[in-house]
Copies of this chain bind each other. A is one copy, B any other.
């Protein structure tokens, strides 16, 4: 770990200790209101798969269950392929601190082949990134300073009188400082949204992601082609019911390619 590394690469860095065991450390740069930013944790879990010598193919699916609190300290990541097929592989990953599982995750990697493809979802009509002012996010949480956010709609105003009946947010986002897009950064950005209950109520509330699933719809080469350009990130809740809300999200390239879709379940108290 050297200071020339991007903060994201510092946050997801892992040292191999045994074939299926890695060690990492929570970095303060991505601190959230309580514990670390869940996006960095998802990226760390995925990084353990990406760095594993037995990996076959590229990520297509990642599920991260936030099972318990994570302290600002070292952690172990246990990662192993539970099933390897001809062109696909299924992974089990656990992030452990003090002997307790804090993260229970699964991932799937696959070798894709070119075949008939189609994108049904249409790119939203939003102004281009360069025409949207950068949104100051100073005081929300430390992790936001590692992103450049340009909200088109659905920002958190901290003014409950502005609360409406939609939790939809749309924003342009890229790493800050800029960093070429890859699976690690895309996994982190899939959790870049504030809890939808914040947007509905236009104020913070006790809330936290309990499970997130992201599907990757692009290859490493397609992500690399995005480079340091911002992504359009869109999210909304469909239902908030007795303490648990869903969130569905899409991450788009400027060219209108749907790079990833994601859903999460969020605990809230309101």
* Residues on A facing B (Cβ under 8 Å): 60-61, 63, 65, 67-68, 82-83, 85, 88, 90, 92, 94, 100-102, 104, 106, 108, 110, 112-121, 165-167, 200, 210-211, 213, 215, 217-219, 236-244, 246, 248, 250, 258, 261, 263, 265, 267-270
Pairwise interchain contact A90-B61, C-beta atoms closer than 8 A: no
Contacts of A269 in B (CB 8 A): 115
Contacts of A167 in B (CB 8 A): 120
User: How many copies of this kind of chain does the complex include?
Assistant: 2
- Contact across chains for A115 and B243 when beta carbons are under 8 A apart: yes
What are 26 A-B contacts defined by CB distance under 8 Å?
A: A60-B210, A61-B65, A61-B211, A63-B63, A63-B211, A65-B90, A67-B90, A108-B210, A112-B242, A113-B243, A114-B242, A115-B268, A115-B269, A116-B240, A116-B270, A117-B239, A117-B240, A117-B241, A117-B242, A118-B200, A118-B239, A118-B240, A120-B238, A120-B239, A238-B258, A238-B261
In the assembled complex, the CB of A74 is this many whole angstroms from the nearest CB of chain B, namely 19
Closest to A197 in B: B116
B213:A119 contact, CB within 8 angstroms: no
Q: Enumerate the 5 nearest inter-chain pairs by beta-carbon distance, A residue then B residue, closest first.
A: A67-B83, A67-B90, A121-B238, A116-B270, A112-B242
Find chain B residues with CB under 8 A from A263 CB.
213, 215, 248, 261, 263
Cβ of B210 and Cβ of A61 under 8 Å apart?
A: yes
B165/A265 in contact, CB under 8 A:
no
Give the residues in chain B near A82, CB-CB below 8 Å: 67, 94, 101, 104
Q: How far is the CB of A55 from chain B (nearest CB, A)?
A: 15
